[in-house]
Amino acid sequence: LTFYDDRLTQNEPNPSTARALVPAWTWVRRDVDDPLFPRRGNVIRAEAGFAVKNVMTDQTFARLYTNAQQYLPLGKNDLLVFRAEFGGVFTTGPSSGVPASLLFRAGGANSVRGY
């Protein structure tokens, strides 16, 4: 159970706020040869959460997210890593009522975009 209270001031002069009380579930499966420095195997993660309007929340929504990483050794010192991520926020109202930290955006230090 997590409470989000996001305030965006980058769109001044009209900063926006969004609040949500989100009960969530997370499942992680690790099948790797070394938990700290894996060279072979995979990690799969799934998350689901929701919020209901007027229960310490500005907008009703559901959020689903999953990612998978596959590690393949290439020779003695090299490693090939495949990563896939999928997620979505589903709401019948405007997404401005969903805290920005729960939304998905392309870009950033950990993003690779493909079309």
**Tens-place pLDDT, residues 26-44:** 999 999 999 999 999 999 9
pLDDT at 3: 97
Residue 114 has pLDDT above 70, yes or no: no
Start-to-end CA distance of the chain, whole Å, equals 35
Q: Report helix, strand and coil shares of the chain as percent, to nearest 5.
A: 5, 55, 40
From the list 109, 91, 106, 110, the residue with the least C-alpha distance to 18 is: 91
**Tens-place pLDDT, residues 50-95:** 999 999 999 999 999 999 999 999 998 999 999 999 999 999 888 8
CA atoms within 13 A on the CB side of 60: 5
pLDDT at 40: 97
Q: Cβ distance 37 to 30 under 8 Å? A: no
Which amino acid, 54?
A: N
